[in-house]
Amino acid sequence: MNNKNLKGIIESLLFAWGEPLNINEISKILNIKASEITVLLNQMSESFEQDTERGLIIQKFGNSYQLTTKKENFDFIQSLLQTQVNKSLSSAAMETLSIIAYEQPVTKVEIELIRGVKCSNVIKGLIDKNLIKEVGKIDKPGRPTLYATTDEFLKHFGLKSIDELPALKTEKDEENEA
């Protein structure tokens, strides 16, 4: 295989893997010395950096490399991700996510008491979208799982911390408005 073909394969591997990929793994896959892979990756990285029309770069992390987007495109990508998450969340998912965000850590039973309906499937969907996670169990019969929001939740909703959530209106606030 020539270097052009190898670079194309390496680029495909980095793209498909998504996370930093170790030189030794690439070496095993291609059955080529790690030192040769390093040379190719350094050439590719330089080429990506120099091509101003490209939206991707190859970043090095120790002995691993990752295909990432250029920093200057972050706002556009963030906007796309925000739109996708908001489009894909049903009103039940948004309601459940709101309860978790404000009450965390919270159990499924507590969420269901607030919502008044079962929410197992909604919780599973939010976990699959990496917007919430299991953060522990309560030392009570049945050992119920506690749920909380993730950093991905903060990222998707443009928050630096959970403290930036808007304050909830209380009954007292509503009485004062009337």
pLDDT tens series, the chain, 178 aa: 788 899 999 999 999 888 889 999 999 999 999 999 999 999 999 999 898 889 999 988 888 999 988 888 888 887 777 655 556 788 899 999 999 999 999 999 999 999 999 999 999 999 999 999 999 999 888 899 999 999 988 887 878 889 989 888 766 666 666 6
pLDDT score at 177:
66
Q: Across-strand partners of 66?
A: 59
How crowded is the C-beta side of 48, counted as CA atoms within 13 Å? Answer: 20
Contact 106, 99 (CB under 8 A): yes
Distance CA 65, CA 68 (A): 9
What is the pTM assigned to this prediction?
Answer: 0.51
Surface-to-core class of residue 113, CB atoms within 10 Å of its CB (0-12 exposed, 13-18 middle, 19+ buried):
exposed
Which residues of the chain are in CATH 1.10.10.10 domains? 3-69, 75-165
**At which residue do the structure tokens 């009485």 appear?**
175
The sign one gets for the Cα dihedral 108, 93, 113, 151 is: positive
Query: Was domain 75-165 assigned CATH 3.40.50.2000?
Result: no
Looking at domain 3-69, which of 1.10.10.10, 2.130.10.10, 3.40.1670.10, 3.30.2130.10 is its CATH number?
1.10.10.10
Residue 147 belongs to what H/E stretch?
strand 145-149
Question: At residue 33, what are phi and psi to the nearest 5 degrees?
Answer: -60, 140
- Tell me if residue 38 falls in helix, strand or coil: helix
Run of H or E residues at 129 = none
